[in-house]
Amino acid sequence: MRSANNYTIKFISQILTGSLIGNPNLKIHSLSIDSRSLIIPNEALFFALQGERHDGHSHIIELYEKGVRAYVVSNKDSILPDEEFGDAAFILVDNTLTALQSLAQYHRNRFSYPVLGITGSNGKTIVKEWLYQLLCENYSVVRSPKSYNSQIGVPLSIWNMAEESNMAIIEAGISKPNEMQHLAKIIQPSIGLFTHLGDAHRENFASDKQKLEEKIKLFDSCNWIAYCVDEELVHQELYKKFGTEKRLVCWSRKENANLRILTEISENKRTKLKGIYYECIKEIEIPFTDKASIDNAILCWLFLLLLEVDDSEIKRRFSNLEPVAMRMEIKEGIGESTIINDYYNSDLGSLEIALNLMNQQKTDKKKTLILSDIYQTGYSPKKLYREVSKILKQKKVDRIIGIGEGIASQSELFSLEKSFYRTTDIFLSDLNRNEFKNEIILIKGSRSFHFERISNALQYKAHRTVLEVNLNAMVYNLNYFRSLLKPSTKIVVMVKAFSYGSGSTEIANLLQYHRVDYLAVAIADEGVELRNAGITIPIIVMNPEIHSFETIIEYQLEPEIYNISILQEFEKSLKRSGVKNYPIHIKLDTGMHRLGFMQHDLNDLILQLRKNDNFYIRSIFSHLAGADEEQHDIYTEKQIKSFISWCDIIRSNFNYPIDRHILNSAGIERFPDAQFEMVRLGIGLYGIGTFRHQENLMNVSSLKTSISQIKTISSSETIGYSRKGTLEKETAIGIIPIGYADGFNRRLSNGVGKVMINGKLCPIIGNICMDMSMVDLSDVSANEGDEVIIFGDDYPVTIISKQLDTISYEVLTTISRRVKRIYYQE
């Protein structure tokens, strides 16, 4: 994260009481913990953090080549020799995470303005962002970027504090005991807000009481604390710990409180709230109706009342409260472009995060940034946009489209391709859609500019049926499986069949960014698509066809070899291409009985491989037939035993290392002793498990649409083709724009399948059509335009697969490509 503050590396070494080796005069503006997301390398201080499966020390040479010169390390062997890297500087410490937190604590102590510390199980980020919206007219607020609330995120957030600001809002999250004490020392909040005590991370604590006791350690330095008294345990523990020494202020729907809610009236997607505050009637209206949003808004309301903000101002600001975008979306744009939407906030910290996501898309596409004015930074316009220009140059952005009076006034500071507009309306009126071709377009704007209109103008597909893909959940699942592996075990990730329906290049980009070892596709064409999208890591073709061998060689794909004839044909292609020593992967059939060499084939295989130098064996692998079911464990153990024996025979005939892999997603969890050198991760990455530990995975994909029309049909009428939909009474039905051409299986017709609308399950009525379906709305209150969940977090795809008597693979892979994919990152 980047700060306006100047520190020298020598001064930081004194703060950290570390040993300084190298150049003492380097000036530090930013902190980095990730070699892949640097803004201005020669001004960055890299902390080489260590985890179970990663070690920042291993990237120091790579970082030096990128221009980083300042490092905090705990492994002295990672310090580069002075005679070759004399311009670099290293601070040697005992623990790099502790050092990062110590530097942040020192930085925090430089400022005396109010610091709000927000914690709780849910709602932290929403409350933080809404308070920013509500206060930014009166204060220059620095806040945590996105959900930076962890042991690493909090120090990076605190680093953003600067003299130009006069208030900070920092959120703090913990997942296990003895974490909050570290965050409390760093944040040192003067005001505390507790949102809600929910279920998150309950599994890591002995009780809710223990979790709460850990969370409220954040408030030790606070002068006063705001919370909801209706949560009895929260009230008891706060009062017990702080009741005699701090000012506790609370709100309630039923008890005596500083702010007591009298009425809540929700209609037309807005809620009117009336409350009594110190014997005075107060009222606000918010553009939300769900309970979580109402609770979060009331906590913010209490805070503004305590600040003695004028009632009319409070009403105006709450009435205009905007939804908080908790995620950045990746969509398909016009002209074969990719759109990244992050149009609900704009500041330097979130700009940095968005640009990192943009650069994560490995491609040769032109990079265009559409950026609005950035508000409430405390900087002069010249200083602010000079900094923005510097960041864009470092991130190799090709074009900027600036919208707003402020950024337009500083156009001369930008040396890249550029155009500027005073308002969004002017830009849209001047928009030529043909000017956007083969680009990555990052749309980054403050709420008041309503950049969603720009996104709508530039996106390719308008189909209201979408498949949302949660990239954070995918990374979570990847890290879960990594946690089950030895550090040396490599991972092959299956991205065949359009990444199980999730999309190919977007998923491959993410996996390459997170350093998986291999990708695997079914056919050569899938591998070519990935290579053309900038994917450079090894790719295995699991079902190579003879006619595709030249393509495989041209695009440096690595084929599975499963019998002698396919081996001989590939040898001929290599000879025609003049290529030698090409990597191949040998498939053994130990009991699945699809493709693969049998035991009696091994002698011929070894003979063929030993007599030529056209290829070498990169890996040997096999496929388990029943790793996900305990009833087949004896058979699985037999397969593994055969695999070991056959591999030993093959490997003994070659004097170079050959990797082995047999475990799939279920096998990784259930047979850890068979990891060998590599494993294959497939459906588990996408959040689907037919094995025992489904609760350890996060859902990745959600198929959603909306209600196009609602009509009331009498019991004498029928619904849909062949008049299969019959009614027992007059019934409200909803027509939704999804049909079997979208992958909504026709066997779900006539009550077999259900969809979720406003938390209720609604049966399909009549036959599913090619492009539309009808649902029974008898048991739900719904309006046209309401969201319809086909499957998702609260209605898993496994339910649909059971209704169809199939597996989740089939449901996911049959979702049509005409369904728009939206990729998002929290």
Nearest to 748 by CA among 702, 793, 706, 806: 806
User: Looking at the predicted structure, is the pLDDT value of residue 53 above 80?
Assistant: no
Q: What is the pLDDT of residues 129-139, one digit of tens each?
A: 999 999 988 89
Give mean pLDDT, residues 550-576.
95
- Mean pLDDT across the chain, nearest whole number? 90
Q: How far apart are CA 797 and CA 794, in angstroms?
A: 10
CATH of domain 332-460: 3.90.190.20
User: Looking at the predicted structure, is the pLDDT value of residue 105 above 90?
Assistant: yes
Domain at 111-319, CATH class: alpha beta
The residue ranges of every structural domain in the chain are: 2-99, 111-319, 332-460, 469-696, 701-825
Residue type, 644: I
Pairing, β 247-252 against β 224-228: parallel
User: Looking at the predicted structure, is the pLDDT value of residue 692 above 60?
Assistant: no
CA distances from 689 to 255, 492, 631, 693, 792 (A): 45, 18, 17, 7, 15
pLDDT value for 532: 86
pLDDT value for 497: 64
Residue 655 tokens read as 């004097």
Q: Reading across the β-sheet that carries 820-825, which strands appear in turn?
A: 417-421, 399-403, 366-372, 439-444, 337-342, 328-333, 820-825, 466-470, 701-706, 787-791, 754-757, 760-763
Same fold, 332-460 and 469-696: no
φ, ψ dihedrals at 484, nearest 5°: -90, -5
Q: How far apart are CA 143 and CA 169, in angstroms?
A: 5
Instruction: List the single range of 24-33, 306-315, 444-453 with lowest mean pLDDT.
Output: 444-453
Nearest to 193 by CA among 126, 275, 141, 111: 126
Query: Regarding the domain delimited by 469-696, which CATH topology (the fold level of the hierarchy) does it fall under?
Result: TIM Barrel (3.20.20)
Q: How far apart are CA 104 and CA 538, in angstroms?
A: 40
Angle ∠(503,504,506) on CA atoms, nearest 5: 80
Query: Regarding the domain delimited by 2-99, which CATH topology (the fold level of the hierarchy) does it fall under?
Result: 3.40.1390
What sign does the dihedral 608-614-619-622 (CA atoms) show? Answer: negative
Nearest to 606 by CA among 561, 557, 570: 561
Q: What is the pLDDT of residues 547-558, one digit of tens each?
A: 999 999 999 999
H helix or E strand, kind and range, residue 524: helix 524-532
How would you class 287 by CB atoms within 10 Å of its CB: exposed for 0-12, middle for 13-18, buried for 19 or more?
A: middle
Residue type, 42: N
Q: What is the pLDDT of residues 709-753, one digit of tens each?
A: 999 999 999 998 899 989 989 999 999 999 999 999 999 999 999
How would you class 251 by CB atoms within 10 Å of its CB: exposed for 0-12, middle for 13-18, buried for 19 or more?
A: buried
What number of helices (H) and strands (E) belong to the chain? 26, 40
Does this model's pTM top 0.85?
Answer: no
pLDDT category, 817, cuts 50, 70, 90?
Answer: confident
* 770 marked among binding-site residues: yes
User: Cβ contacts of residue 654 below 8 Å, gap of 6+?
Assistant: 609, 610, 616, 617
| Farthest-apart Cα atoms in the chain, separation | 94
Between helices 505-513 and 524-532, what is the axis angle to 10°? 70
Q: How far apart are CA 333 and CA 670, in angstroms?
A: 42
DSSP at 375: -
CA 473, chain centre distance (Å): 6
CA 651, chain centre distance (Å): 40
pLDDT value for 68: 93
pLDDT value for 4: 52
Residue 215 tokens read as 């969370």
Q: How far apart are CA 698 and CA 822, in angstroms?
A: 17
The CATH architecture assigned to 701-825 reads Beta Barrel (2.40)
Per the residue annotation, which of 291, 393, 721, 802 is the catalytic one?
721
Q: What is the pLDDT of residues 79-93, one digit of tens each?
A: 888 878 889 999 999
pLDDT category, 117, cuts 50, 70, 90?
Answer: very high
CA distances from 804 to 428, 501, 540, 798, 811 (A): 46, 18, 32, 10, 9
Active site residue 496: yes
User: Looking at the predicted structure, is the pLDDT value of residue 698 above 80?
Assistant: yes
Residue 556 tokens read as 């440096």
Per the residue annotation, which of 217, 496, 587, 704 is the catalytic one?
496
Q: Which residue has the tokens 């490995």?
A: 362
How would you class 62 by CB atoms within 10 Å of its CB: exposed for 0-12, middle for 13-18, buried for 19 or more?
A: exposed
Pairing, β 70-73 against β 2-8: unpaired
User: Looking at the predicted structure, is the pLDDT value of residue 517 above 90?
Assistant: yes
